[in-house]
Amino acid sequence: MKRSVHDDHSRGCRHGAAHIINRQLRAGIVFAAFGPLYLSLRRGSVAGRRPVTSCELDIPMKTDTSMQSDRIDVSRFSEVAGGRWMDRITIGQRMLLLVGGGTATVIGLTAFCVYGTGTMFDAASSDLSNTQALAQLRDRLNQIAVGAALGCLSLVLPAFWLVTRSIVARLKAAQTVLAQFAKGDLSRTVDIRGSDEVGELLEGIKSMQCSLTSIIGQVRYASESMHRATSEIVAGNEDLSGRTERQAASLEQTAASMQELTDMVSENAENAKQASMLAVSASDIAERGGEVVGQVIGTMHDISVSSKKVVAIIGVIEGISFQTNILALNAAVEAARAGEQGRGFAVVAGEVRLLAQRSATAAREIKNLIEDSTSKVVSGATLVDRAGQTMEEIRLAIRRVTDIMNDISTASVQQSSGIEQVNNAVTQMDEVTQQNAALVEQAAAASGSLKQQAIDLHNAVSKFQLG
């Protein structure tokens, strides 16, 4: 029963402590500077002691020596609170990196202070009867919170003023450039500093300046070109009327020329048919020549293979001659040892030796001749191969000529048909020429109006200064 009452009281005190912690955290960074010092003085801690979250803290809450032996286990509360605030501290440090290193340091100390805060509140809650000590601790924490908040503000406000001043200065520069753009002055240089949102804005203004400069330059060039073109059109319309009359006279000559052209095209079509037939015949001959060359290439390859075999055989003969010569020498030596009885055998051995030497000499000569023939066969095979490639190229060229001649023949037929249509069109051109005379007057009036519009456009674009 007593244990249950003690647990209820402990939970009540912890709820009260949590309420006070929430009030301190809403004010900002509470124990960033004074929490570690407070714990050091109260606990007499030294460097190298184990973490707060994994031990029992000895917090003296009274002057009475009997109360100094009271210890509380705050590992559960410190793990819950500490785990949540470490996440928040990490986010806060990342945000305050823009403000300055001093503020980031204050934020970094907050995690350790949270553990100290939880320890002090658990120590205070262990004695329910000492409400006055809890009230004094609350007032002390409020004073520390106010001091820490003022310290943070002394760091944040100057940094915030510097950042705001930098942004406003660059925004004023962007406003000045845009005002010059509104007046038509596109030659103003855009100074881009930084890569933040304002820098991106200035980059966009610079891109807009480049685009406007390019567009207005193109419009100015187009207006000048239009002015020149309209002037030429006006002059051309004056000549068009006279040329229209001359065109009617030339139509009769065109009709006569078209008849002659029809006869020439018909003759070309006939010649193209004959040329196509000759090209087909030449293509067949080239194909047969290519087949013959292919056979020659195969024959040369067989000769080369046979020559290599003969060279191998000659090599065997040379080996036999060399061995026979050695045997003859051995026989001569044995005959010399035999004396008079081996004299006849020595004569035979000498003759065999001479025959072996002559066979070796003949074999070497034959080998040299065959090697020379083999090299010539290889050269001939290479030449025949080139001839085969040339014949293939000739065959392909003749085939292309055949295709071209077929196309020419087909085109000649189409030209003949087209010329007939041209004859009909010439008749219609006479009628169209009469209508063109009326259109020339309308075109002259339209070109005059277009010339005036080009002048107005050029004057409007000239107001912009491109630098």
Count of other CB atoms within 10 angstroms of residue 415? 19
Q: How far is CA 126 from CA 5, 17, 18, 294, 366, in A?
A: 13, 11, 14, 111, 122
| 250-279 pLDDT per residue, tens | 777 777 777 777 778 778 777 877 877 877
CATH code, 295 = 1.10.287.950
| 60-114 pLDDT per residue, tens | 333 333 333 333 333 333 333 333 333 333 323 333 333 444 444 444 444 444 4
CB 314 within 8 A of CB 366: yes
CB 287 within 8 A of CB 402: no
Are 219 and 93 part of one and the same domain?
no
| Residue reference for tokens 């409400």 | 131
Q: Is the pLDDT of residue 6 over 60?
A: no
| 408-440 pLDDT per residue, tens | 878 777 877 777 787 777 778 777 777 777 777
Q: Is residue 189 part of a domain?
A: no
Are 297 and 374 part of one and the same domain?
yes
Report which of 61, 58, 74 is spatially closest to residue 117, judged by C-alpha positions: 74
Confidence at residue 384, expressed as pLDDT on a 0 to 100 scale: 74
Are 337 and 443 part of one and the same domain?
yes
Select the more confidently predicted residue: 80 or 159: 159
Average pLDDT, the chain: 66
Q: Is residue 346 part of a domain?
A: yes
pLDDT band of residue 342 (cuts 50, 70, 90) is low
- What type of residue is 69? S
Q: Is residue 199 part of a domain?
A: no
Across 152-156, average pLDDT: 75
CB 24 within 8 A of CB 145: yes
Task: Give the three-state DSSP class for 57.
Answer: strand
Are 239 and 385 part of one and the same domain?
yes
Helix, strand, coil content of the chain in percent (nearest 5): 85, 0, 15
Where a domain ends, among 136, 164, 192?
A: 164
Confidence at residue 93, expressed as pLDDT on a 0 to 100 scale: 35
Are 113 and 228 part of one and the same domain?
no
Q: Is residue 296 part of a domain?
A: yes
pLDDT band of residue 209 (cuts 50, 70, 90) is confident
Q: Is residue 70 part of a domain?
A: yes
Are 25 and 155 part of one and the same domain?
yes
Q: Is the pLDDT of residue 296 over 70?
A: yes
Confidence at residue 27, expressed as pLDDT on a 0 to 100 scale: 40
pLDDT band of residue 22 (cuts 50, 70, 90) is very low
Are 226 and 354 part of one and the same domain?
yes
Q: 64-78, 155-169, 308-322, 357-371: which has the minimum mean pLDDT?
A: 64-78
Q: Is residue 19 part of a domain?
A: yes
Count of other CB atoms within 10 angstroms of residue 359? 17
pLDDT band of residue 341 (cuts 50, 70, 90) is low
Count of other CB atoms within 10 angstroms of residue 280? 16
Task: Output the six-digit token pair for 134.
Answer: 């809890």
Q: Is the pLDDT of residue 1 over 70?
A: no
Domain carrying residue 321: 210-461
Q: 43-52, 183-192, 358-367: which has the minimum mean pLDDT?
A: 43-52
Residues of the chain with pLDDT > 70: what percent?
A: 68
Bridge partner list, 130 = none
Rounded distance between C-alpha atoms, residue 388 and residue 392, angstroms: 6
Where a domain ends, among 164, 199, 231?
A: 164
Q: Is residue 34 part of a domain?
A: yes
Task: Output the six-digit token pair for 282.
Answer: 């030449």
Are 148 and 225 part of one and the same domain?
no
Are 156 and 236 part of one and the same domain?
no
Are 437 and 337 part of one and the same domain?
yes
The winner for highest mean pLDDT among 161-165, 248-252, 396-400 is 396-400
Are 291 and 223 part of one and the same domain?
yes
Instruction: Show the CA angle centred on residue 188, arms to residues 184 and 189, nearest 5°.
Output: 150
Q: Is residue 171 part of a domain?
A: no
Task: Give the three-state DSSP class for 72.
Answer: strand
Confidence at residue 191, expressed as pLDDT on a 0 to 100 scale: 72
Q: Is the pLDDT of residue 210 over 80?
A: yes
Confidence at residue 463, expressed as pLDDT on a 0 to 100 scale: 67
Q: Count how many domains the chain has.
A: 2
| DSSP category for residue 272 | H
Q: Is the pLDDT of residue 400 over 80?
A: yes
| 30-65 pLDDT per residue, tens | 344 344 444 444 444 333 334 444 333 343 333 333
CB 444 within 8 A of CB 234: yes
Are 160 and 226 part of one and the same domain?
no
Dihedral (CA of 310, 314, 320, 324) sign:
positive
Q: Is the pLDDT of residue 303 over 60?
A: yes
Q: Is the pLDDT of residue 211 over 50?
A: yes
Contacts of 221 (CB under 8 A, 6+ apart): none
Rounded distance between C-alpha atoms, residue 429 and residue 31, angstroms: 101
pLDDT band of residue 356 (cuts 50, 70, 90) is confident
CB 413 within 8 A of CB 265: no
pLDDT band of residue 467 (cuts 50, 70, 90) is low
